Chain A
Amino acid sequence: EVQLVESGGGLVQPGGSLRLSCAASGFTFSNYWMHWVRQESGKGLVWVSRIKSDGSSETYADAVKGRFTISRDNAKNTLYLQMNSLRVDDTAVYYCVRRARYYAIDVWGQGTTVTVSS
């Protein structure tokens, strides 16, 4: 079964850091581009970042550029999101997602909740 399982969310103070992980299984992880998408409570989906299948290229949304870093370890089938200088408006559920070859997001993790609050 194709599966993405996020972990690492939690409560952190403004200015703090968190690292999210996403464990992939059931498919050849190294063949796929991966993204992070977030969703504030009661709000819509927002794209955060993406990384190429071999890890050689990354892109970020303006709202997180310079603060977040996406990375992957293909040997461990794991995607990461290092989040620094966290702000209250980074509070959201963060989803790890897989991009299919036909340019749609075909697999979603269950999400991990990040709460930034003092």
Chain B
Amino acid sequence: QSALTQPASVSGSPGQSITISCTGSSSDGGGFNYVSWYQQHPGKAPKFMIYDVNNRPSGVSNRFSTSKSGNTASLTISGLQAEDEADYYCSLYTSNNTLVFGTGTKVTVL
């Protein structure tokens, strides 16, 4: 299964909102159910941020939200802050119990 497609980079000013898309192939459409998002700062392990639609683990800010339409999922970061500058990855848990990750998006806070 091919990697999910994300924009290479997205930027915004502090306080603004940005959205990162995550698109699977047409064959994923019927099974694009278990999508989650991860934040990774340089030199650190990824951090679990959100799964499905707006399900956040304890401690993750509600400035992070998600949506989904067909085989495209989106992560929106509202009220952008300097600490949000990081790489973001989506992932899809497949029906074969494997994982497919997105290509990754570098978020820059201007």
Contact = CB atoms under 8 A, between A and B. Distances in A.
A104 B93 contact: yes
Interface string B65-103: 000000000000000000000000101010011111111
B98 to A, nearest CB: 6
Contacts, number: 64
A103 B45 contact: no
B103 to A, nearest CB: 6
A89 B24 CA distance: 25
A50 B96 CA distance: 10
Interface residues on chain A, size class: 20 to 34
B45 A111 contact: yes
B7 interface: no
Given A35-B99, A47-B98, A50-B98, A105 B36 contact: yes
B52 A108 contact: no
Nearest to B105: A44
Interface in A21-70: 33, 35, 37, 44-47, 50, 52, 59, 61
A110 B40 CA distance: 12
Interface string B40-69: 000001111001100101000000000000
A99 B101 CA distance: 14
29 contacts: A33-B97, A35-B99, A44-B3, A44-B89, A44-B104, A45-B46, A47-B99, A50-B98, A52-B97, A59-B96, A59-B97, A59-B98, A61-B98, A95-B46, A99-B93, A102-B51, A102-B55, A103-B33, A103-B34, A103-B51, A104-B34, A104-B36, A104-B48, A104-B91, A105-B36, A105-B48, A106-B57, A108-B45, A108-B47
Given A47-B100, A105-B48, 20 more contacts: A33-B97, A37-B101, A44-B101, A45-B46, A45-B91, A45-B104, A50-B97, A50-B98, A52-B97, A59-B96, A61-B98, A95-B45, A95-B46, A103-B34, A103-B51, A104-B91, A105-B38, A108-B45, A108-B47, A108-B48
